[in-house]
Amino acid sequence: MESRLFSPMTIRDVTWKNRVMVSPMWQYCAFEGFPTDWHLMNLGRFADGGAGLVFQEGTTVERRGCGGRGDLAIWDDVYIEPLRRIADLVRANGAVPAIQLMHAGRKARQKVPYDGRGPLEYCEDIKDWDAWELIGPSALASEGADVPREMTLSDISAVVQAFADAARRAEEIGYDAMEIHGAHGYLVHQFLSPASNQRGDRYGGSLENRMRFASEVVEAVRSQWPAGKPLFMRLSCVDGGHGGADSPPYDARR
């Protein structure tokens, strides 16, 4: 039986030359949100190496959503030109350039892995420290982290809009595929899981309500992302019995 691994694949109007995909992998090497030559080299070599679809690591849609100091950013137009260098290089080497959009939510403001993770202590050299606020669906901390502020309805609307604005910038930059990060305990996942979402309004409680934030993010992104370009969402569907789509409602008392 002939392998289809090296045959072209088309989703919507975008075709990549084979079915080898480079997943979004954090590099922790951005400087104040800007990519460095490391990002250019790292993603460029995957494209030159023959992969059909090359994803850029999770790129943050607003300041509050940065997981750590080395995260890439797309929350302002100042990041468009530096990121365009990456997309152009990936395409010039025969691959489809793709981007993952993310927001860390209550998992923001963390030390990078090689520093041991855990909450990042106040740093004077981070000029916008006060803007790097920890937010989440509920005032519940993830293990070993600080307690986030529960998001207001205004916060939710602002973050949904931030995803839409990021999608607009990604289209202007020239990416041809996009993934929304809704897994691994980051903000979209935090809304989906009753282990982190114990709200009493329309964004909490039933599975339908917990899905509302994710649905609004998808709709907002698609409003700015061309219909001919694929849009994916990464999900963690089993949460160790504490809030995956297959789990009963989480009881915080047990």
Burial class (CB in 10 A: 0-12, 13-18, 19+), 193: buried
Containing 110, the helix (H) or strand (E) segment is none
Q: 179: which strand partners?
A: 100, 232
First to last CA, the chain: 52
Distance CA 106, CA 16 (A): 35
Assign 59 to helix, strand or coil. strand
Active site residue 114: no
Distance CA 253, CA 233 (A): 31
Asked if residue 212 lies in contact with residue 151, where contact means CB atoms within 8 angstroms, the answer is no
Residue identified by tokens 């997981």 is 67
Asked if residue 108 lies in contact with residue 61, where contact means CB atoms within 8 angstroms, the answer is no
Kindly give, in sequence order, each residue whose CB lies less than 8 Å from that of residue 167, ignoring residues fewer than 6 positions away.
Answer: 101, 178, 220, 221, 222, 223, 224, 225
Asked if residue 102 lies in contact with residue 60, where contact means CB atoms within 8 angstroms, the answer is yes
Q: Which of 28, 114, 122, 186 is catalytic?
A: 186
Active site residues: 186
